Amino acid sequence: MNQFAKLGVDIAKLWGKYSGSYLSGVRNTLVLALVATVIGCVIGFICGVLNTIPHTKTDNIVKRGVLALIRVVVRVYVEVFRGTPMVLQAVFVYYGLPYFTNNAVQFTNVWLAAILVVSVNTGAYMAETVRGGILSIDPGQTEGAKAIGMNHFQTMLYVILPQALRNILPQIGNNFIINVKDTSVMFIISFTDFFAAHRAAVGATYLYFPSATIEMLGYLCMTLVASFLLRWWEKKLDGNESYSLAAADQLGATSGTMNYPGKGSNYDERSREYQEGGER
């Protein structure tokens, strides 16, 4: 029998017997990745904002000391969780806490442990992403907000963060896609995700490569769909390509001061009508 035909038969056999397990694993993987990415983004935004609070030598020494301590704590958190594998973080949280606390602190719910590990790991990456996104905004935006009487909190909430969010949205999507794949390491704490379903099927049938093929195709489908939806969301946030500017002066279109960018604009048609003396 042709090897590809044999592979197809083995895949069909595995899917017929373990499709429910595979689909349950897909569901658990997507739920964990989505929830952990959302929580991780919240953690990252908090750390990123705290890490960019400005201070000068003229500020109160208490304020400078507190901000310096916050930045040290955030830096240690970021470096520790970016510099260690997620699988070891899961081992430390799930098995290490009971070990060091003599079973006084332990997780009875594997979902809670998995969400905590993936969220905190994602937050470490997002903290630096948010910090970079905030610093990428033109300082003139902050100066303008202060000029009209906004405090730092108002400036961040209404001026800086909305713009930074648009800049870092691709990285948020990238983190979600990474989490879809990296949640596979949660099998170490017996979390029943997509990869755990593969391990269970292989343990029962010894059909390692056919099951791995199902896994590869499954992860590829999840990431491709996620990429498509994220690009669609980015496009929606960009708004319409064509828009009109309202002006009291109806001769503004002939003065060269009005611009109608983007495809589908009716600027040329309007300009021609004005030049020919036509009515709008």
Where does residue 48 rank: exposed (0-12), middle (13-18), buried (19+ CB within 10 A)? buried
> Residues 182-224: pLDDT tens digits?
999 998 998 999 999 999 999 998 999 999 999 999 999 999 9
Say what the pLDDT of residue 20 is. Answer: 92
Provide the residue count of the chain. 280
Residue 114: its pLDDT value, please?
A: 94
Averaged pLDDT, groups of 10, the chain, 280 residues long? 84 91 94 95 92 81 89 94 93 88 82 94 93 87 87 85 86 92 91 92 91 94 92 78 53 50 49 50
pLDDT of res. 263? 45
Q: Look at residue 109 in the predicted model and tell me its pLDDT.
A: 87
What is the structure's pLDDT at 250? 52
CA distance 244 to 79: 48
User: Which residue's structure tokens are 């098995």?
Assistant: 95
Q: What is residue 102's predicted lDDT score, i.e. its pLDDT?
A: 83
